[in-house]
Structure 1
């Protein structure tokens, strides 16, 4: 008897799933005590000197099993998951209902639907971020010229009075 291929959330099918687009992964040191509050007790936090590695992952997919969409993943820290460690996502925001459903049902992510607002504007060459660091960041084809500035605002869609959980501001590399 031949088995029927089980299909996951609509559009995704079986892995491997292929996503094409651009992304930024920003790492931050997070106090272990703060990260532990976001991670289930059964997982061991990977830490050193009272800190773990957290941050965020911001992606703009041009192509995926469900088409184009944006994603913001907030990472509390690293957890030990034999035989290696992995990042623990405490928040996942996407602007696609199918991607949200797939994240929840098939991957076990705390996905929420959100509105992503992106604006690109030119900035002067003298406008440098903290010690020029923000000028070293690039996100693939998101920037039109070396002096472009990208603002991304993410608003969780829960109610009419939803608050903006995240605002990201980036400047491309200066030539």
Structure 2
């Protein structure tokens, strides 16, 4: 994907998103960046599923797997260990700008009477399936979140908002999926709604 041109940062992304928190077992912990651990030697992570619409820098679907919180220099950051999109330009930009090893996959995203159903497949094999259900209420979540790619050393920032509602959620991760290495313990409630994000260019991590 090195020869695929892509827009420079910042990227502006608008659409729909579902944020599913989880306690995860960070992968390759001995060789990865410094981890912020919860009890049980786990870390706070989870999944972000998004459907970015034509108002965005690029229109595509995305699945991000957060393998834990890490110290990126002196900044706590979400460690993006897994990423799948359905757009080749996004694959190239994710790798070239943010050091995130995105893979090209297939998404099926449908509204149902009960909520939403999303499946993500890679090379024809299902990685993850997510079902949400409606719950009353509304929430507006401001987003000011640092994140880092696989090396944990070049933090960037996602800023904006997620406006939606808490929803019940059921997540199935295929046992042979790369996401299975996180052994995620998903929360029973996610946040789903409209999202608007500005994704900055990475900057050199400040060392403590």
For normalisation by structure 1, the TM-score amounts to: 0.68
The counterpart of 1:57, out of the listed 48, 51, 62, is: 48
Moved over 4 A (4+): none
The counterpart of 2:33, out of the listed 29, 43, 48, is: 43
CA distance in 2, matches of 1:115, 1:96: 9
1:22 aligns with 2:16: yes
Cα displacement string for residues 120-172 of structure 1 (whole angstroms, at most 9, x for unaligned residues): 2213xxxxxxxxxxxxxxxxxxxxxxxxx211010113xxxx31011011112
Aligned residues: 133
Structure 2, gaps ≥5 residues long = 138-208
The counterpart of 2:69, out of the listed 78, 96, 101, is: 78
1:172 — aligned with what? 134
Change (3 A) 1:119 1:22: closer
Change (3 A) 1:11 1:110: closer
SS in 2 for 1:55: strand
Higher share of residues assigned strand: 2
Higher share of residues assigned helix: 1
- On the 8 A contact 1:9/1:106 being kept in 2, the answer is no
Change (3 A) 1:43 1:85: same
Higher relative contact order (CA 8 A, sep 6+): 2
Max radius of gyration: which structure?
Answer: 1
CA distance in 2, matches of 1:40, 1:102: 28
- On the 8 A contact 2:107/2:118 being kept in 1, the answer is yes
Structure 1, gaps ≥5 residues long = 1-7, 124-148
Structure 1 residue 11: deviation in Å? 4.2
- On the 8 A contact 2:6/2:93 being kept in 1, the answer is no
2:117 — aligned with what? 151
